[in-house]
Structure 1
Amino acid sequence: MDASLALQYAVIAILVVASAWVVLKKQFPGPLRKARIALALPLLREGRSNWQHALGRWIAPAGSLVNGRIAGKDCGGCDGCG
């Protein structure tokens, strides 16, 4: 396969993944948050290596505040209820 064709496929794949991420964040913030938590928790368990802890912290969603309170478990962080 030609190198330029492989580069084109790689760029298109990156753009498709980025586009899917944006759609997930906009359309499904609650389920995406739950999935990120489910992926991060095993990495953050005690006894894991430092790089696994760092990866888990990177994957985990940031805690969000809504109206000065910590948001509930079903909150996607859109601040639509405030």
Structure 2
Amino acid sequence: MSADVQLALQYAAVTLLVAVSGWVVLKKQAPATARRLRIALAVPLVRPGRPAWMRALGRRIAPEPRVGAGCGGCDGCG
């Protein structure tokens, strides 16, 4: 493997780790913002007329529906 390919793989790995770390911090520190972001990403994918794989991905990204008005939807109080 050439040095350029190794460097590109290293950058890709670091980028993936930073993105995952950022998502974990966002979910812990700002869960409402993380929920809104998931909804914003999922809604365009689940629209009618999209391919089945795209709708399935959108359903997977979408957060669980909220159960009560004052909770975050974890369903731990039910």
- Mapped pair 1:72 → 2:77: no
**Higher strand proportion, which one?**
1
Aligned to 2:15: 13
Against the structure 1 CA distance between its residues 75 and 13, is the aligned structure 2 distance closer, same or farther, given a 3 Å change threshold? same
- Structure 1: stretches of 5+ with no match in the other structure: 65-69
Per-residue deviation, residues 19-75 of structure 1 (Å, max 9, x unmatched):
1011111011001101211221222222322122111101101235xxxxx133872
Q: How many residue pairs are counted as aligned between the two chains?
A: 76
- Structure 2: stretches of 5+ with no match in the other structure: none
Select 2:60's aligned residue among 58, 61, 82: 58
- Mapped pair 1:46 → 2:43: no
Output the CA distance in 1 between the equivalents of 2:51 and 2:73. Answer: 29
Alignment RMSD, CA only?
2.8
What TM-score comes out, normalization by structure 2 length?
A: 0.73
What percentage of residue pairs aligned between the two structures are identical? 53
